[in-house]
Amino acid sequence: MLTEDQNRRLTEVGAGTPMGELLRRYWMPIAAVAELDDKPTKPVRLMGEDLVLYKDRSGNYGLVDRHCPHRRADLSYGWVEDCGLRCHYHGWLWEHTGRCLQQPFEETAHPEARFKDKVRIKAYAVEAKAGLLWAYLGPPPAPLVPTWEPFTWINGFVQIVFSEVPCNWFQCQENSIDPVHFEWLHSNWSRALNGAGADRSPAHLKVGFEEFEYGFTYRRILEGQSEQDELWTVGRCCLWPNCLFTGGHFEWRVPIDDANMLSVGWFFDRVPNEMEPYRQDRIPYWYSPIKDALTDRWITSPVMNQDFVAWVGQGTVADRTQEHLGESDRGVILMRKRILEDAESVMRGGEPKGVMRDPEKNRCVRLPIIGRDFFVNGSSRVETETSRQRTPGLLLRKDFPFLTGQPEEVRAAYRRAMGLPETGVDARSPAS
Ligand code: FES
Ligand SMILES: [Fe+2]
């Protein structure tokens, strides 16, 4: 059980708060590269700051204050030019570095005053990697955006999925080090929802947690498994400070503010050997709804929606002064302790865990990965269709099991990549 003060320190993300300062030492994924290609401006709220992300016609990415420093118009209604974002109210032009490039009437009335050199807009660094756009809100020098090992894999179909979840980010991240929930929230609840009778899925017999350079691993033994199984010998990762990595996918819990979280999923599906070489020209992205419009209740399947139901159910900010923690929460306790220590060290000027600054190391950052050989080398179609090595399910998935609302064109592109028959009508064939 935590004190109110500890609960506040774990959950507040504003600038100047211990956790807010810790989080500002890391790059946060905030959009898809393809998203800005579709529409060059995007309003973004990140760690309580209202911003606008844009891509100008020279390809520069900018992340600037949502409000124009002139008279505070909303710059997400501005337009991009060859260089910079122009305010729609009086035409001041802002560069991604924060410089003001033009103030049309001021330059006509008082060219000698060079007023534009005296105003700046708040501007943050943006980088593209793995089909995502990453933002850094911390002090210079900015670290490197980590090149996690799966970002270097080839012959895979990648998709990026966003969901907005109306609760604090930290209760979502606690889920990244909670192996036992899988048995209940996913396996047994799905059975109950499907009316599957009294049978239960295999129970957890043992769990283990280890800290490593980039976070913690969690390991488990389920009924019917042994200490030789990779779920025990390798495990899965709670990545520092706000990510879950399962081997085939990442889930970042990006704080929008104290009361809202942007879930950013990055999913890799290896194509069967028969479909190689496979090259993806554009990584698709989509937004997944979390509420059923008809019933006004949370969507209760698939897998990640079940997680969302648990997190929002804990309240906007989980009240950790009212908990009763047990042995299954050992990982959660470890992580809370470690991250609070890290946040305090940042307040004293220290560098927190796992910040990437070494370009050599960052060519490819290896992580614990169950079934690495399959992701790297793939396997034949028959093997892929029958082997079970992932959570959830088979190596070759027919459908997307994590979130609801996958657009038909993404589903069709996936099936083409995998060499699966295109069931259903895809009106937007690649030729049209
Ligand atoms: S408010 Fe933006 S130019 Fe005037
Ligand atoms: Fe889960």
Q: Is the CB of 94 under 6 A from ligand 1?
A: no
d(CA 340, CA 336): 6
235 Ramachandran zone, left/alpha/beta (phi>0; psi -120 to 50): left
CA 164 / ligand 1 centre spacing (Å): 30
Q: Is the CB of 116 under 6 A from ligand 1?
A: no
Predicted confidence band of residue 198 (pLDDT cuts 50, 70, 90)? confident
How far apart (Å, rounded) are the C-alpha atoms in residues 133 and 266?
Answer: 12
Under the phi-then-psi rule, with left for phi > 0, alpha for psi from -120 to 50, and beta for the rest, what region is 419? left
Name the residue among 390, 410, 190, 406 with its Cα closest to residue 301.
190
For residue 396, is pLDDT > 90?
Answer: no
With a cut of 90, say whether residue 390 has pLDDT above it.
Answer: no
pLDDT band at 424 (very low <50, low <70, confident <90, very high): low
Rounded to the nearest whole angstrom, what is the distance from the C-alpha of residue 41 to the centroid of ligand 1?
17
Average pLDDT on 282-301 reads 97
- Give the confidence band of 383 by pLDDT, cuts at 50, 70, 90: confident
Q: How confident is the model at residue 427 (pLDDT cuts 50, 70, 90)?
A: very low
Give bridge partners of residue 93 from the DSSP assignment: 86, 102
Residue 1 has pLDDT above 60, yes or no: yes
Of 118-127, 184-193, 195-204, 352-361, the least confident = 195-204
Write down the pLDDT at residue 373: 93
Region 179-183: mean pLDDT is: 97
Which atom of ligand 1 is the closest one to the Cα of 78?
2
Consecutive H or E run containing 41? strand 41-46
Query: What was the pLDDT predicted at 393?
Result: 67
Q: Which two tokens stand for residue 212?
A: 């490593």
Q: 90: Cβ below 6 Å to ligand 1?
A: yes
The per-residue pLDDT for 197 is 78
Is the overall model pTM greater than 0.85, yes or no?
Answer: yes
Where are the strands (E) in 246-355, listed by range? 249-257, 260-270, 285-287, 291-292, 297-298
Residue 430 pLDDT greater than 60, yes or no: no
- 285-287/156-165 β-pairing: parallel
pLDDT tens sequence across 309-325: 999 999 999 999 999 99
Contact indicator for 7, 258 with CB cutoff of 8 Å: no
How is residue 307 written in tokens? 């997680």
Q: How far apart are CA 70 and CA 224, in angstroms?
A: 66
pLDDT at 431 > cutoff 60: no
Q: How many CB atoms lie within 10 A of CB 354?
A: 18
pLDDT for 423: 72
Task: Give yes or no for residue 389 having a pLDDT over 80.
Answer: no
CB 5 within 8 A of CB 237: no
pLDDT greater than 50 at residue 426: no
**In Å, what is the CA distance from 333 to each residue of 167, 338, 340, 356?**
20, 9, 11, 25
pLDDT at 326 over 90: yes
Does any ligand 1 atom lie closer than 6 A to the CB of residue 68? yes
* Helices vs strands, H then E, count in the chain: 13, 20
User: Which residue spans within 107-242 are E strands per DSSP?
Assistant: 123-129, 132-136, 156-165, 204-212, 215-222, 236-239
- Ligand 1 atom 4: residue of nearest CA: 90
In 3D space, the residue among 146, 151, 212, 192 whose CA is nearest the CA of residue 353 turns out to be: 212
Which own/partner contact pairs does 318-327 have at CB distance under 8 Å and 24+ positions apart? 318/7, 318/167, 318/168, 318/170, 318/171, 319/7, 320/1, 320/2, 320/6, 320/7, 320/10, 321/1, 321/2, 321/3, 321/4, 321/7, 322/1, 323/1, 323/2, 324/1, 325/1
Taking residues 156-178, what's their average pLDDT? 98
* Nearest bound ligand to the CA of residue 70: 1
Q: Which residues contact 260 (CB under 8 A, 6 or more apart)?
A: 45, 164, 165, 166, 167
Average pLDDT over residues 391-417: 90
pLDDT at 221: 95
Give yes or no for a contact between 411 and 400, defined as CB atoms under 8 angstroms apart. yes
Does pLDDT of 428 surpass 50? no
As a whole number of angstroms, the distance between CA 93 and CA 99 comes to 9
pLDDT over 70 percentage in the chain: 97
Q: Which two tokens mark 332?
A: 């959660």
Q: Which atom of ligand 1 is nearest to the CA of 103?
A: 3
**Of 196-205, 264-273, 392-401, the least confident:** 392-401
Distance 177 CA to ligand 2 centre (A): 10
